[in-house]
Structure 1
Amino acid sequence: MAQQQALLHARSIVKSFGPTSVLKGFDLSIRAGEVHAFLGGNGAGKSTFIKIISGQHERDGGTLEFNGQELGGSSVSPVDSGAIAVVNQELALLPHLSVAENIAMPRLHRAMRTYSERTSKAIAVEALSLIDPHFAKTSVGRLVGDLTLHERQLVEIARSLGSGARLLLLDEPTANLTASETARLFAVLRRLKTESNLAVLFVSHRMREIRQIADVCTIIRDGKTAVDRVALDDITDREIVDFMGQSAEPDQRTDSQAEEIIQVQTDSLQEAHDGSFTSEPILVRFEDIELPIGPGAIIGLAGAPTGPSALIEALTGIAKKTPWNIVRKGAPVKYRSPSAAARAGVGYISGDRANRGILATLPIVDNLMASRRIVERRAVARSEEIERSASLLRALKIRAGSLWDLPSTLSGGTQQKLLVARWLTLKPKLLVLEEPTRGVDIRTKREIYALIRKLAAQGTAVVWWSTEYVELVELCDTVLAFDLSGRPTGVLQRADLNETNLANATGMAA
């Protein structure tokens, strides 16, 4: 493609963080009026490149042009001027402001207007209605800090869609959306592409979505361009996976790797569980729905976020009040707090990596040992934690400069592996996972699957919520389905588990 045809043209982009080289001469060009899939494994450099385009990072070398003008130096950022809008993998909303303020403020600031609550609400309703009309009408006055991760994702996308930008940078925008919301988002992108000549750089690990929305793809591998502007019609899924350096097939080594990880330093673990949660099955009830959760079972939750979230909060001690009855041996089970649940043997991995998962200001070693310290009621680090953490990093194949580096030095997918690693050597009685593979590549998904299967084989009961039906079908013995209002509709057993039945049970497209 000739340079003058590109809305955005990047050549030989270089970026390092200390001794770690992330981008090593990367090239990419985007035309107006196209959806451009940007593909690569976790840690390949995708999010770093997006942050360079949006002005969050400065490049160390190479040239970057937008609409024929060199970016950087004293030039006005296209993000500041409104020409580029971005949805980062870790959302960038202001929790102390309302939904309306978060959506409207950037536009009002650029226009140098006096703030108007009425105008802001109108802007927010119009933008949100593109994806979720009901949410638009009911939530513009709510504080962003009170929203779920799913709801915050809608706000972030709506803010970008309503910005009037010429280029949208979407980093895993559908990771927390339902299938129907994803379909509406794609319909909006197609319309804006046609009517406004909008360009979209779209990052996703979901191959089905990439095929649905993208025209061309560029693949990054180890900080370099592996594939440059290939039409999606001209490349197979297998070829994409190979160029990414991934494997779509189960790795024969993952089972032994899982065994190694779970055995890391387990002999030194002092018995810390308080005994209120034993290996006895528990029973969860909601009206006429009854679901046993026994040792070694992998139970899936399917449907819109409201229903699964309510059950997860009841199981993990987050909810103060809940419509769910949780019973063991005929007696009710209720935890005062998540820490009390953890000491009783209940592990929890949140899908909200930024706000309920990663401890951003603490080093990697503290992130790995956080759950153990809660269970053992310790605040002070012990010397053996260093050895244990180093063993976990080796076993999980996490490349970190040091145990004392911050998690921000790792890719989003690698940070997700840290959250899983917290619970591996504790062998919880129950492990509750909320979208645990959000934003992770094929290889990392397979590694997480193998770890969870191994924990289940050793007696841990697993509750797994995912918006990816194919994931639930592959992993689960039983799935509890919820309708769009959040009410449970029924329990699907292994023989009945397929994407069509899940779609029918939840009212959501597969």
Structure 2
Amino acid sequence: MVDARNMVLTVSGLTKSYGATSVLKGVDFSVARGEVHALLGGNGAGKSTMIRIITGAASKGEGEIVFRDRAGNSRTEGEGRKKVAVVHQELALMPHLTVAENISLPHFRRGFGMFDRSRALLEAHEALAMIDRDFAEASLSRSVGDLSLHEGQMVEIARALASGAELILLDEPTANLTALETERLFSVLRRLTQENGLSVVFVSHRMKEIRQIANVCTIIRDGRTVVDRQPMSELDDTVIIEKMGQLVVARPVGDASTREPRRKIEGDSLTISESGLKIGLAPGTILGVAGAPAGPAALIAALVGAARSKRWTLTHATWPARFSSPHQAATFGSGFVTGDRSHKGVLHSLPIIDNVLASRRVVRGNLFTGRGEQIECLDLMQVLKVKAASVWDLPNTLSGGTQQKLLLARWLGVPSRLLVLEEPTRGVDIGTKTEIYQLIRQMASTGTIIIWWSTENVELLEVCDQVLAFDTAGRCAGLLEGDDLNEDNLAQLTGMAA
């Protein structure tokens, strides 16, 4: 039992409803000083809602929130929130400002005082260098709007580290980081918790990472606390998954003998080429892409018509050597699911039906909404187990994992020769991951070629026939298949831990 005076945050009996929908139904949650606390639960369990209430971004229903200072004395909620920093699952950066300004500006609360640019650069550099010194040296003056998704994630985390907070809430912080960047972040968090007494709430669906960093965990299910402050050492993965209400039936990974043989499917093959390297992909092939973002991002851009360079070329019976635009790629049958659902994927101002049917309208050239679209949308939502009150609801009423399903739904039933997936399981729970794996295999069985970039090597081994590995400089390092396709070889070729 931890002394209540050592708790930096205590939440008791917290409730929250949106109309008739009850999201939190009496949650209890407490975080001690100097610990990394894993907050676990499936998509829609209520984790993000609770975080928004703790930080003041949403109002609570009933219940109590108590913040304490280092002496154990209670603070008001307003005073307590000033000592809390949060990194949300979806980035909240100002794209027109520089990296340094994004990190430093939120912490300058000086009324009419002048902004000290030299000091801001120094503080931003110190915070960002804790995660990636090379990136800090090269990027402080870059516009955030020019950053990749994983670079933006590092800026978000650096901003939280630079805030002087006593409690940091990290919602899927490693979803866009490489394994090396993740380990650097964990090293920083361990040092700050052990030496400075920082408290960290870590929200993630990656069990391996949770065990690497967390001391204790709390599990929320259907808006209620089902496991309260239990040491991670006392819970195995099976129990955690069961408590979360997840049911997972997965094949063993990393063993080539467990992969189902690929049946021959009629259709045109696709060859992708770069500097003498040629990879032939028969219909129904699932090609994984592994490694730091530079290499995979260049390949993906070429496949979806967004490339500025001519590094990659395509050879297909009915396709041009390069697509001139994403619209041309889509009309030729090359689909794309982005990993950045917040800024590049989900159409937040449009209802669910428009999000689900967006690709169909582009491919078919529809000018008007058809009468059968509502039925079509409902059928797709049923296939993907998307629960919503109406197809006319906005996507922000859904959990992050369910929003990811909407992006996949766009390409179900669309005549696609190729589907490019960029981190399609980013920020989704274990049960939803399994559903996405099954969906990808189903699409491949109809002849669609799947190209899938993931920073989780284990899921590439689970689903893919071959994996193209890139090194940390973005160069092709090798193509693995059969007995050679395993975690050790992937780690060696990519230069990153599995």
Which structure 1 residue ranges, 5 or more long, are not aligned? 252-277
Deviations 1:62-88 (A, max 9, x none): 11111154655xx34x44x3x111000
User: Greater shift after overlay, 120-129 or 319-328?
Assistant: 319-328
Alpha-carbon distance between aligned partners in 1 of 2:97 and 2:285, rounded to the nearest angstrom: 42
> Separation in 2 of the partners of 1:333 and 1:109?
54
1:61 aligns with 2:62: yes
Q: Is 1:301 paired with 2:289?
A: yes
**Alignment map for 1:427-442 (pairs within 5 Å):** 427-442=415-430
Note the C-alpha offset of 1:329.
4.6
The alpha carbon displacement at 1:495 in A equals 2.1
- What is the identity, as a one-letter code, of the residue corresponding to 2:7? A
Gap runs ≥5 in structure 2: 252-265
**Deviation string, structure 1 residues 433-454 (Cα, Å, up to 9, x no partner):** 0000000011100100001101
Distance 1:112 1:475 in 2: 56
Query: Is the aligned partner of 1:443 residue 2:444?
Result: no
Q: Work out whether residues 37 and 202 of structure 2, in 8 Å CA contact, stay in contact via their aligned partners in 1.
A: yes
Q: Give the alignment of 1:215-226 within 5 angstroms.
A: 215-226=215-226
Deviations 1:115-151 (A, max 9, x none): 1332222221111100111110111111111111111
Give the C-alpha shift of residue 331 in structure 1: 7.7
Normalization by structure 1: what TM-score? Answer: 0.91
Asked if 2 retains the 8 angstrom alpha-carbon contact of 1:238 and 1:248, the reply is: no
State the 1:33 CA deviation: 0.4
Work out whether 1:25 is the aligned partner of 2:26.
yes
Q: Distance in 1 between matches of 2:451 and 2:430?
A: 21
Q: Report the secondary structure of 1:318's partner residue.
A: coil
Distance between the aligned counterparts of 1:164 and 1:354, measured in 2?
A: 27
Seq. identity, %: 53
For residue 426 of structure 1, report the CA deviation from its aligned partner: 0.7
1:378 to partner: Cα distance: 2.2
TM-score (normalizing by structure 2): 0.93
Distance, in Å, in 2 between the alignment partners of 1:287 and 1:192 is 45
Q: How does 1:109-508 map to 2 (within 5 A)?
A: 109=109, 113-250=113-250, 279-329=267-317, 332-508=320-496
Cα deviations by residue, 1:336-391 (Å, 9 ceiling, x for unpaired): 21111111101100001111100011111110011111111224322211111112
| CA distance 1:25–1:334, shift in 2 (3 Å) | same
SS of equivalent to 2:89: coil
CA distance in 2, matches of 1:95, 1:229: 38
Partner letter of residue 99 of structure 1?
Answer: V
1:266-317 Cα distance to aligned partner (Å, 9 max, x none): xxxxxxxxxxxx9421211121322112210000000000100000000000
Counterpart contact for 2:219–2:226, Cα < 8 Å: yes
Structure 1: distance between partners of 2:147 and 2:17? 35
CA 1:485/1:113 → structure 2, altered by over 3 Å: closer, same or farther?
farther
Output the CA distance in 2 between the equivalents of 1:296 and 1:102.
44
SS in 2 for 1:109: coil
Aligned partners of 1:334 and 1:370: how far apart in 2?
23
Q: Aligned pair in 2 of structure 1 residues 110, 423: CA closer, same or farther (>3 Å)?
A: farther
| 1:330, distance to aligned residue in structure 2 (A) | 10
* Cα distance in structure 1, aligned partners of 2:379 and 2:319: 40
Contact 2:319/2:332 (<8 A) preserved:
no
Report if the CA contact (8 A) 2:38-2:218 is conserved: yes
CA distance, structure 2, for counterparts of residue 419 and residue 141 of structure 1? 33
Q: Which range moved further: 150-159 or 376-385?
A: 376-385
Q: Secondary structure at the match of 1:413?
A: helix
- The one-letter code matched in structure 1 to 2:477 is T
- What is the alpha-carbon root mean square deviation over aligned residues? 1.7
Task: For residue 423 of structure 1, give the secondary structure of its aligned residue in structure 2.
Answer: coil
CA contact (8 A) 1:192 1:198 kept: yes
**Alpha-carbon separation, structure 1, partners of 2:111 and 2:137:** 25
Q: Is the Cα contact below 8 Å between 1:476 and 1:494 reproduced in 2?
A: no
Partner of 1:5: 6
d(CA) in 1 for partners of 2:76, 2:321: 58
CA contact (8 A) 1:40 1:219 kept: yes
